[in-house]
């Protein structure tokens, strides 16, 4: 059984295209899970553009998108995701309703005047929108893939996912803010014993002190959760736009000293579980 995880966008908040961001990457959140030919994509930040081109090249006609929340950095790539313009593509898009708008209405708004010239109803692909509520569990691909969700601590809300397939588990925990000194049962539920945890490590602990309430966490908290929940590998994710490659190298090395199974996610790299 194959469970391959590819990072197409690892940056948080906004894209960074400066040359000193090219080692870790400047595209925003998008992670591809290849599960023996079954495509599951988490978030549609700017990184999904390159993934879309790959799917077109491979003639992959079916994919499922799980959207953690609809802040720009998690959906900005959706109108530039090539499969939505292919009449062969069938895309299931799971998102949590926001402000009384269901999944379809949110994406309709994104692809409408004055934000975007082409309305979503004019694209030739089959887009199947599915709503879910926090803590829902559901299956994809005729029961082969299990998805467990939990609400995260983030302004406007966000959802964390645990995806189980072929005896392996991945936890995607972005965007979330920890409360110092308190365990987050929702995060632990997703992370417990998983093979890879992708965790919002936007800030260092020093930076976090002046950013309480922003809805993001730290690499130090990632290490604490990984130890507590017996996580096998941890990917620091949603990198701060203020952290260029030199800063990211220091963060990654320091985190590795605290726990050797931690690494900082780099764009266009694949981890096989
Ligand atoms: Zn974000
Ligand atoms: Zn957010």
Ligand 2 centroid vs 1 CA: distance in angstroms?
A: 33
Q: Is pLDDT above 90 for 99? A: no
The per-residue pLDDT for 157 is: 93
Ligand with the closest atom to the CA of 158: 2
Question: Closest Cα partner for 116 from 64, 72, 51, 69?
Answer: 72
Q: Is pLDDT above 90 for 125? A: yes
Q: Is pLDDT above 90 for 178? A: yes
Sign of CA dihedral 100, 145, 187, 47: negative
Ligand with the closest atom to the CA of 28: 1
Let me know: does 89 contact 51? Beta carbons within 8 Å: no
Ligand 1 centroid vs 12 CA: distance in angstroms?
A: 5
Ligand 1 centroid vs 23 CA: distance in angstroms?
A: 20
Q: Is pLDDT above 90 for 177? A: yes
Averaged pLDDT for residues 189-193: 98
Ligand 1 centroid vs 174 CA: distance in angstroms?
A: 7
Percent of the chain past pLDDT 90, that is, above it, reads 96
pLDDT in tens, 35-81: 999 999 999 999 999 999 999 999 888 999 999 999 999 999 999 99
Q: Is pLDDT above 90 for 180? A: no
Ligand 1 centroid vs 272 CA: distance in angstroms?
A: 24
What kind of architecture, by CATH, is found in domain 4-272? 4-Layer Sandwich (3.60)
Averaged pLDDT for residues 131-155: 96
Work out the mean pLDDT of the chain and round it to a whole number. 96
Averaged pLDDT for residues 109-138: 95
Ligand 2 centroid vs 156 CA: distance in angstroms?
A: 8
Residue 181 banded pLDDT, cuts 50, 70, 90: confident
Ligand 1 centroid vs 195 CA: distance in angstroms?
A: 23
Ligand 1 centroid vs 222 CA: distance in angstroms?
A: 16
Ligand 2 centroid vs 71 CA: distance in angstroms?
A: 5
The per-residue pLDDT for 98 is: 83
Domain boundaries, the chain: 4-272
Residue 112 banded pLDDT, cuts 50, 70, 90: very high
Averaged pLDDT for residues 17-35: 98
Q: What is the largest CA-CA distance in the chain?
A: 52
Let me know: does 49 contact 37? Beta carbons within 8 Å: no
**Angle (nearest 5°) at CA 262 between 261 and 267:** 125
CA atoms within 13 A on the CB side of 26: 11
Let me know: does 258 contact 234? Beta carbons within 8 Å: no
Ligand 1 centroid vs 88 CA: distance in angstroms?
A: 31
Ligand 1 centroid vs 85 CA: distance in angstroms?
A: 26
Look up the pTM and report it.
Answer: 0.97
């Amino acid at each position: 059984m194959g469970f391959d995880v590819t990072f197409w966008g690892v940056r948080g908040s906004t894209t960074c295209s400066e040359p000193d961001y090219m080692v870790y990457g400047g595209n925003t959140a998008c992670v591809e899970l290849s599960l023996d030919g079954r495509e599951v994509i988490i978030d549609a930040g700017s990184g999904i553009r390159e993934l879309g081109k790959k799917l077109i090249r491979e003639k992959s006609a079916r994919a499922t998108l799980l959207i953690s929340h609809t802040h720009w950095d998690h959906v900005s790539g959706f109108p530039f995701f090539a499969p939505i313009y292919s009449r062969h593509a069938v895309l299931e898009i799971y998102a949590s309703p926001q402000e009384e708008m269901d999944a379809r209405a949110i994406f309709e708004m994104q692809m409408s005047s004055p934000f975007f010239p082409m309305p979503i109803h004019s694209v030739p692909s089959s887009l199947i929108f599915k709503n879910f509520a926090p803590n829902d569990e559901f299956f994809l691909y005729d029961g082969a893939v299990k998805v467990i969700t939990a609400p995260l601590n983030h302004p406007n809300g966000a959802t964390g996912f645990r995806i189980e397939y072929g005896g392996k588990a991945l936890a995607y925990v972005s965007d979330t803010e920890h409360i110092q000194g308190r365990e987050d049962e929702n995060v632990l539920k997703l992370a417990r014993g998983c093979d890879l945890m992708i965790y919002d490590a936007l800030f260092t602990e020093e930076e976090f002190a002046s950013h309480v309430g922003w809805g993001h966490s730290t690499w130090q908290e990632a290490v604490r959760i990984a130890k507590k929940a017996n996580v096998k590998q941890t990917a620091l994710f949603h990198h701060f736009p203020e952290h260029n490659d030199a800063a990211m190298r220091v963060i990654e090395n320091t985190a590795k000293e605290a726990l050797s199974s931690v690494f900082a996610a780099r764009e266009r790299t694949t981890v096989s579980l």
